[in-house]
Structure 1
């Protein structure tokens, strides 16, 4: 018997944002917008630490573990151009290895976008540290928080977690990643603590928006594809 050459319908492509995470990630994007914009408006043009910055820095320095300098320097290096490029490549390859192509594209595009956006926002906000260095938002914090958020999305997808568990995993990994980077930047006196809040917000905003746009583009492309006979 001859087999009919019937083309089977393709399985739907995996999206960057699974249905279980769309609502919580949308909420994170709105939170990110607030965390990015509100401090920018409050501290625009400042050249010194606020009371909040002073108190937060004192707390961080007082509770810094002994022997943590190498970790601090390592976290800072990951936010530098070479380290950030390797971070982008590593997260993207991890997504590809797990078969999450849309999420891999999201990782590459969002981390690159965050680097450009953080650099562009600095002169617009005009906040300075150490007598002249533009500092808001923290690009280091933004990049590493974005990478952590992508990892959270990947874990939630791979393990097919439901909405509540997905939210907990994504939020937990993102907060840990962002907090570690903020801790390093504050210890190095490279940024005011509120600069790292702006970087955190930048990542929370850009990653979900990028993922949503990639999913929309993929959906439109699939809709315009000729139907199989």
Structure 2
């Protein structure tokens, strides 16, 4: 029986390092901003840059935040999973559900544990890490991994570039929008971005490991 192709392909070796670095960023930011209710220096600088964009770009950024909303993320995950199944890529189909799903759970659980808030005292809400940013990045990662699976195993450089580009496009746009509308601080969006990267790549590694073991048992049996 022929083994199914690796889900991560050329990303399989750098993925653990990237996931560990992303997780480390989340831990550092969570420790730094735990219990805070004000913007830090990085947040203020990012806000200044976004304010300089003017009205029209800011309205477009605000509209882009819808891509990271839970209903949109769920819809995209289901569509990507179905498309992967139609293409015979079962590992990718599992990742399309597991990555965004686990990222959503993680950002929801971490917010009250870290306790960073944004907004007026009476209506302050938990802010770190950004769930919208995490959701958008998790979908971007699924698309990137799907594309990476088409590359030769030896080409790790282009694979990493594809992954970073997809994550930055999805997370950067939604994250900037969340900051622009005042729903999150910039560091919240970085936390959401890194949470999605750490969980998405870790999920892909686990899926590959489990699927490889099942395939080996099937061949030996």
TM above 0.5: yes
Indicate the residue corresponding to 2:2 in structure 1: 11
Where do residues 73-222 of structure 1 align in structure 2 (5 Å cutoff)?
73-130=62-119, 131=121, 132-160=124-152, 162-222=155-215
Post-superposition offset of 1:214: 1.1
- C-alpha separation in 1, matches of 2:88 and 2:180: 38
- C-alpha separation in 2, matches of 1:166 and 1:111: 20
Bigger helix fraction: 2
CA deviation string 1:62-114 (max 9, x = no partner): 12572552x43442222222112112123323433443210120120111011
Task: Tell me the SS of whatever aligns to 1:23.
Answer: coil
Change (3 A) 1:64 1:106: farther
- C-alpha separation in 2, matches of 1:31 and 1:53: 21
Mean Cα deviation higher: 20-29 or 105-114: 20-29
Contact 1:35 1:200 in 2 (8 A): no
- C-alpha separation in 2, matches of 1:176 and 1:92: 21
- C-alpha separation in 1, matches of 2:152 and 2:218: 28
**Alignment of 1:36 onto 2:26:** yes
1:47 is aligned, of 33, 37, 50, to 37
Post-superposition offset of 1:198: 0.3
Contact 1:109 1:210 in 2 (8 A): yes
Aligned length: 217
Post-superposition offset of 1:26: 2.1
Change (3 A) 1:59 1:73: closer
Which structure has the larger Rg?
Answer: 1
Unmatched runs of 5 consecutive residues or more in structure 2: none
Indicate the residue corresponding to 1:5 in structure 2: none
TM-score with structure 2 setting the length: 0.90
Post-superposition offset of 1:31: 1.9
Change (3 A) 1:64 1:23: farther
Contact 1:95 1:103 in 2 (8 A): yes
Post-superposition offset of 1:226: 6.3
